[in-house]
Amino acid sequence: MPAEISSELRAAVLADHPNGLSSRKIVEEVEEAGYCISKSSVNRTIKEKYWEDEGEAKPAKRLGTQNQPSMRTKQLIEDVKYLIDRPNPFSQRQISQKLDVPKTTIHDIITKDLGGLVRKKYRTHHLSAKMARQRMAKGPRFLKMINHGKWKWIVSVDEGWVYMTNCNGQRKIYYEFRGNRRPESWRKYVVQKNPIGVMVAMGITARGPTGIYFVPPEAKVNSQFYVDKVLRPILQKDIPRLYGKLAKKVTLHHDSAPAHTSFFTYNSIVEMGFNFIAKEDWPANSPDISPMDFSLNGILKQRLFRRRIRNLDGLKRAIRDEWKKIDPDLCLKVLRSWPDRVSQMIECQGFQFEHLG
């Protein structure tokens, strides 16, 4: 609250005001007379004189929000908590409209009263309750097969598609600057249907990656093709190169695709002198615990993002180049984390666990 001024000082200010002096000049004149006053006090004194002459009441002082009752009542906080404490919560804008309360108040309730933060959900693969039970049933048995350093003697093989859209990377964002209209192409993110691509097969071991093998577009990936064009090169060429005389200690791991689990495939693996993890021991629907799926496939596509290609041959060259750059230490790190990921899956009763990291 501003301090009261004496009647003599008030009279000195009002004596100079009719002369048309500015507030600054009045302050200087009053100081020469031996008084001390600020410009704001001069202005306030003149306004009070005006209200007296006009016979008007002095306007009531506007109170700050600190003197008003809070909108964040206990009942409102409970209502907001009810609307957000669910798997598919309402947005802050929806809650604001539903409860007829400012969005800023909803934000304050969530952050200050409830101690919450808005977070994006993790993207995971689909699992039904039946799939989770199957994973839970096979998980402990599979964990014994890779635990206590046994992962060092496993080659994990997978096939997957790589598309031209994985190269020539197009970001999903752009920056808009005030007064600078961006070209239309900067504001579009085009999703291409049925992009051109190639299927590749490769594997990972604790001593580095295997070779990479391309599947011709016209090829039918049946058991015969899988054994002749993928498994034989990996087991008879890549594994001896990586493990030397200890190659026969290596066990094959792959998913439960029909070409992987046929009698012909299993018999061919045995004839080549290798062991394998059978379909009965591997939890199906498990890209989150398959080394190629949770690591190398994504890493390869990330590295292809910055490559510039024009045709399918260029795509194949880029894939070969980036795969050769995969560091054996990276493969070791990935496989070392394998038992922990399986353990997390078991702790979650077979359901997804990526969101817990």
Domain boundaries, the chain: 7-54, 71-113, 129-356
**Encoding tokens for residue 223?**
């058991």
pLDDT tens per residue across span 71-126: 889 999 999 999 988 888 999 999 999 999 999 999 999 999 988 888 888 888 89
Please, what is the average pLDDT of the chain? 88
Superfamily of domain 129-356: Ribonuclease H-like superfamily/Ribonuclease H (3.30.420.10)
State the pLDDT at residue 28. Answer: 81
Report which of residues 298 and 20 the model is more confident about.
298
**Rounded CA separation 145/138 (Å):** 11
d(CA 12, CA 45): 11
Among the listed ranges 69-73, 260-264, 299-303, 311-315, which one has the minimum average pLDDT value? 69-73
Tell me which of 62-71, 239-248, 266-275 is least confident: 62-71
17/258: higher pLDDT: 258
Distance CA 98, CA 80 (A): 10
Is residue 63 predicted with pLDDT exceeding 70? no
Is residue 65 over pLDDT 60?
no
Q: What span, in angstroms and rounded, lies between the C-alpha atoms of 7 and 9?
A: 6
Tell me phi and psi for residue 190, to 5 degrees.
Answer: -90, 130
Q: Which two tokens stand for residue 319?
A: 């894939």
Band of residue 176 on the pLDDT scale cut at 50, 70, 90:
confident
DSSP 114: S
In the predicted model, is pLDDT for residue 295 greater than 70?
yes
Contact 279, 241 (CB under 8 A): no
Helical packing angle, 39-54 and 7-16, nearest 10° = 80
Band of the pLDDT at 184, cuts 50, 70, 90?
confident
Residue range 9-26: mean pLDDT, rounded: 76
| CA-to-CA dists, residue 346 to 35, 44, 149, 151, 278, angstroms | 83, 75, 19, 18, 19
The pLDDT value recorded for residue 357 is: 61
Supply the pLDDT for residue 51: 77
What's residue 1's pLDDT?
Answer: 55
Going by the DSSP 8-state scheme, the letter that residue 87 receives in this structure is S
CA distance 324 to 327: 8
Top-confidence residue, 71 or 198: 198
- C-alpha span between 86 and 109 (Å, rounded): 16
Report the alpha-carbon distance of residue 327 to residue 300 in Å, rounded: 12
Residue 254 in 3-state DSSP? Answer: coil
Q: How confident is the model at residue 268 (pLDDT cuts 50, 70, 90)?
A: very high
Q: Give the 3-state secondary structure of residue 202.
A: strand
Q: Are strands 197-205 and 208-215 parallel, antiparallel or unpaired?
A: antiparallel
pLDDT tens digits, 117-159: 888 888 888 999 999 999 999 999 999 999 999 999 999 999 9
Taking a C-beta distance cutoff of 8 angstroms, is the pair 202, 156 a contact?
no
Note whether 108 and 95 are within 8 A (CB): no
Query: What percent of the chain has a predicted confidence (pLDDT) above 70?
Result: 94
Q: Does residue 357 or residue 277 have the better pLDDT? A: 277
Instruction: Identify the burial level of 229 via C-beta atoms within 10 angstroms of its C-beta, where 0-12 means exposed, 13-18 middle and 19 or more buried.
Output: middle
Q: Structure tokens of 284?
A: 């199906």
* Six token digits for residue 249: 């200690």
| Rounded distance between C-alpha atoms, residue 14 and residue 324, angstroms | 89
pLDDT of residue 61: 65
Q: Which of 40-54, 133-147, 198-212, 309-323 is predicted least confidently?
A: 40-54
Residue 30 has pLDDT above 70, yes or no: yes
Burial 259-268 (b: 16+ CB within 10 A, else e): bbbbeebbeb
Contact 297, 199 (CB under 8 A): no
Q: Is 118 exposed, middle or buried (0-12, 13-18, 19+ CB in 10 A)?
A: exposed
**pLDDT at position 60, please?**
64
pLDDT for 4 beyond 80: no
* The predicted structure's pLDDT at residue 18: 72
> What's the pLDDT at 42?
81
Identity of the residue numbered 137: A
